[in-house]
Amino acid sequence: MSEFYTVCDSTNFEEVISKSQVPVVAYFYSDDCLPCTKFSQIFERSAVTLAEQLKFVKVFRPHNRQLAEKYSVKSSPTIIFFKEGREVCSRLNGYISFPEFKEAIENVLEKTCDSKERTIVHCDVLIIGAGPAGLTAAIYASRSKLHTIVVDSSLPGGQVASTYHISNYPGTNGVIRGIDLMENMKKQALDFGSQIDDMQSIKSINLTGDEKYIQTETNDYYAKSIIIATGAEPRKLPVESEREYRGRGIHYCATCDGALYTDANVIVVGGELQQLKNRCSSLDMQKALR
Question: Which of 71-75, 186-190, 218-222 shows the lowest per-residue confidence on average (mean pLDDT)?
Answer: 71-75
**What 3-state DSSP class applies to 102?**
helix
pLDDT score recorded for residue 90: 86
Domain co-membership, 202 together with 262:
no
What pLDDT is stored for residue 181 in this prediction? 92
Catalytic residue among 33, 123, 257, 280: 257
> pLDDT of 99-139, one tens digit each?
899 999 999 998 777 666 789 999 999 999 999 999 999 99
pLDDT one-digit tens code per residue, 233-260:
777 888 887 776 776 678 776 665 666 6
Whether residues 137 and 164 share a domain: the answer is yes
Q: What is the mean pLDDT of residues 179-200?
A: 95
Which pLDDT belongs to residue 163? 75
Q: What is the mean pLDDT of the chain?
A: 86
Same domain, 123 and 224: yes
103/175 same-domain check = no
Residue 243 forms part of a structural domain? no
Boundary of a domain, candidates 50, 76, 109: 109
Please give the residue that has the higher pLDDT: either 289 or 35: 35
C-alpha separations of 280 from 32, 168, 262 in Å: 20, 21, 10
* Confidence at 282, pLDDT banded by 50, 70, 90: very low
Q: Are 238 and 246 in contact, with CB atoms under 8 Å apart?
A: no
How many other C-beta atoms are found inside a 10 Å radius of the C-beta of residue 260?
A: 14
Q: Does some domain include residue 101?
A: yes
DSSP state of 176: B
What pLDDT does residue 3 have? 82
Active-site position among 197, 253, 263, 280: 253
| 84 and 127 assigned to the same domain | no
As a residue count, the chain comes to 290
H helices present in 62-201, as ranges: 65-70, 98-109, 132-143, 178-191
% of the chain with per-residue pLDDT over 70: 87
**Final residue of a structural domain among 89, 109, 129:** 109
Examine the domain organization and report whether 90 and 131 are in the same domain: no
List pLDDT tens digits, range 257-270: 666 677 888 888 87
Across residues 171-196, what is the average pLDDT? 91
Of the candidates 109, 132, 154, which is a domain's last residue?
A: 109
* Residue 91: inside a domain: yes
Q: 43 in a domain, yes or no?
A: yes
Annotated active-site residue in 8, 36, 256, 280: 256
Residue 166, judged by CB atoms within 10 A of its CB (0-12, 13-18, 19+), counts as middle
The mean per-residue pLDDT over the stretch 150-170 comes to: 85
User: In the chain, what are the helix, strand and coil shares in percent, each to the nearest 5?
Assistant: 35, 25, 40
pLDDT, residue 284, reads 55
Residues 6+ apart with CB under 8 A from 116: none
Evaluate whether residue 239 is within a structural domain: no
Provide the residue range defining the domain that includes 57. Answer: 5-109
pLDDT at 87 over 90: yes
CATH of the domain at 210: 3.50.50.60
Q: Specify whether 218 is located in the same domain as 270.
A: no
Residue 278 lies in a domain: yes
- DSSP letter string, 199-259: S--EEEEE--SSSEEEEESSEEEEEEEEEE-----PPPP-STTHHHHBTTTB-S-HHHHGG
Q: Is residue 244 part of a domain?
A: no
Strands 119-128 and 219-228: parallel
- Residues 13, 99 within the same domain: yes
Residues 105 and 123 in one domain: no
Region 140-160: mean pLDDT is 94
Residue 114: predicted pLDDT:
65
Question: What pLDDT score was predicted for residue 111?
Answer: 79
Q: Domain count of the chain? A: 3
Q: Is position 8 annotated as part of the catalytic site? A: no
**257 assigned to active site:** yes
Q: Are residues 126 and 99 in the same domain?
A: no
Separation of alpha carbons 162 and 157, rounded Å: 8
Active site residue 256: yes
CA angle 60, 65, 66 (to 5 degrees): 130
Look up the CATH number of the domain holding residue 41.
Answer: 3.40.30.10
**pLDDT score of 217:** 85
Q: Is the pLDDT of residue 290 over 60?
A: no
Residue 192 lies in a domain: yes
Give the pLDDT score at 160: 84
Shared-domain flag, residues 98 and 124: no
Question: What local confidence, expressed as pLDDT, does residue 219 receive?
Answer: 93
Let me know whether 144 and 54 are in one domain: no
